[in-house]
């Protein structure tokens, strides 16, 4: 099933899309994870509604599972070649901001103080069942479905923040696109290869020009392995989102900048539209708009280090 959350005639609803993209509202559903089947009566066509992000996730873990992406971005941001040895040990992730989630066609404001905005083409798995210390084999039953994920990144803010050693902060805090709907896991089983990866074609466009294409099966860990690692020593719960990390071959601009040694294509600016398409899942398309100016703060004070 493809399950969407949307606004129609002033009401937020949840519905299942049929083969001609007509929504079947599910009256008793409060979220996409409550849906077990389509509503009995067809409602509006998807073109007649405003699609929202399919869910408001309690947590968003963003992994980094594409080696090609790591190579390019590391060179772009750090000036270093290759991939750090520690990357190969486990599917590393960071927690990003669930309050920054935007819908599939919402406008994206420039992060305050940023001048180098980038997109990141990812696929996200959504947890449907609670679990802890799962094996990869167990984890498959805990994935409810998948959606497109754009992890918008202010590369200039990110590069400065990561010198502190804690990872990205405001460089990743303004926007994260999810959508256009949740595709249940069973729908994507025909794309699974012999190693357990989902062989889905990925495409990124800026203002109608293709800048990146890759396969989701180029991930170095499966989603089940990512869920298992996320659940190690803790609990994953329904609604948790796990991003694949950005794909290679132009899945973001920073990777291309690292490979080319220059900002070509240029950073995103006001009026640019980024369109991301994932085979079997769908398309999201967001336009960049002006954002607020940063509220000024002082630099750190050098203190006397007095003691009581």
Could you tell me the CATH number of the domain that includes residue 240? 3.90.850.10
Q: What is the pLDDT of residues 200-210, one digit of tens each?
A: 999 999 999 99
pLDDT tops 90 at residue 248: yes
Tell me how many domains the chain contains.
Answer: 2
- If asked whether residues 39 and 127 sit together in one domain, one would say no
- If asked whether residues 216 and 103 sit together in one domain, one would say yes
Query: pTM higher than 0.75, yes or no?
Result: yes
Instruction: Give the per-residue pLDDT at 167.
Output: 85
Residues 144-154: what's their mean pLDDT?
A: 98
What is the DSSP secondary-structure string of the chain?
-EEEEEEETTEEEEEEE-TTSBEEE-TT-SSGGG-SS--SS---BGGGSEEPPS---S-EEEE---HHHHHHHHHHHT---S--GGGGGS--EEEE-GGGEE-TT--EEPPTT-S-EE--EEEEEEE-S-EES--HHHHGGGEEEEEEEEE-EEHHHHHHHGGGSS--SGGGSS-EEEEEEEEEGGGGGGGB-TTS-B--EEEEEETTEEEEEEEGGG-SS-HHHHHHHHTTTSEE-TT-EEE----SSSSSHHHHHHHHTS--SPPB-TT-EEEEEETTTEEEEEEEE--PPPPP-PPPP-------
CA–CA distance, 176 with 57 (Å, rounded to integer): 11
Instruction: Give the per-residue pLDDT at 165.
Output: 87
In a domain, 91, yes or no: yes
- If asked whether residues 42 and 162 sit together in one domain, one would say no
pLDDT tops 90 at residue 234: yes
pLDDT tops 80 at residue 79: no
Do residues 157 and 171 touch, judged by C-beta distance below 8 A? yes
Q: Residues with Cβ < 8 Å from 99, sequence gap 6 or more?
A: none
Strands 11-17 and 209-215: unpaired
> Is the dihedral angle over the CA atoms 88, 77, 71, 82 positive or is it negative?
negative
Domain end: 51, 73, 89, which one? Answer: 51
Instruction: Give the per-residue pLDDT at 73.
Output: 86
- If asked whether residues 94 and 202 sit together in one domain, one would say yes
pLDDT band at 221 (very low <50, low <70, confident <90, very high): very high
Domain that holds residue 235: 60-289
Q: What is the pLDDT of residues 256-272, one digit of tens each?
A: 999 899 999 999 999 99
- If asked whether residues 142 and 234 sit together in one domain, one would say yes
Residues 117-132: what's their mean pLDDT?
A: 98
pLDDT band at 75 (very low <50, low <70, confident <90, very high): confident
Q: How far is CA 100 from CA 28, 42, 176, 304, in A?
A: 27, 32, 6, 38
Residue the block writes with tokens 């979220």: 31
Q: What is the pLDDT of residues 13-54, one digit of tens each?
A: 999 999 999 999 999 999 999 999 999 999 999 999 999 999
- If asked whether residues 118 and 168 sit together in one domain, one would say yes
């Amino acid at each position: 099933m493809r399950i969407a959350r949307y606004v129609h005639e002033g009401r937020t609803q949840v519905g299942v899309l049929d083969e001609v993209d007509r929504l079947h509202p599910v009256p008793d559903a409060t979220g996409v994870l409550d849906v077990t089947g389509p509503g009995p009566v067809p409602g509006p066509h998807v073109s007649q509604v405003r699609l929202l992000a399919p869910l408001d996730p309690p947590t968003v873990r963003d992994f980094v599972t594409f080696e090609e992406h790591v190579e390019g971005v590391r060179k772009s941001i750090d000036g270093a070649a290759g991939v750090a040895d520690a990357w190969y040990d486990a599917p590393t992730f960071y927690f990003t901001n669930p309050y920054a989630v935007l819908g599939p066609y919402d406008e994206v404001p420039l992060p305050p103080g940023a001048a180098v905005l980038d997109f990141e083409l990812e696929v996200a798995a959504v947890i449907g069942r609670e679990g802890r210390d799962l094996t990869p084999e167990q984890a498959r039953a805990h994935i409810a479905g998948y959606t497109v994920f754009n992890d918008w990144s202010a590369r200039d803010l990110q590069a400065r923040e990561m010198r502190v050693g804690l990872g990205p902060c405001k460089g990743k805090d303004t926007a994260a696109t999810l959508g256009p709907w949740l595709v249940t896991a069973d729908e994507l089983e025909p794309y699974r290869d012999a190693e357990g990866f989902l062989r889905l074609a990925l495409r990124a466009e800026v203002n109608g020009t293709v800048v990146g294409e890759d396969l989701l099966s180029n991930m170095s860990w499966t989603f089940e392995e990512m869920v298992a690692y996320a659940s190690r020593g803790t609990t994953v719960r329904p609604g948790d989102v796990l991003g694949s990390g950005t794909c290679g071959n132009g899945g973001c601009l920073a990777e291309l900048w690292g490979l080319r040694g220059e900002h070509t294509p240029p950073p995103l600016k006001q009026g640019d539209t980024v369109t991301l398409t994932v085979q079997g899942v769908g398309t999201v398309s967001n336009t960049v708009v002006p954002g607020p100016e940063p509220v000024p703060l002082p630099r750190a004070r050098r203190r006397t280090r007095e003691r009581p």
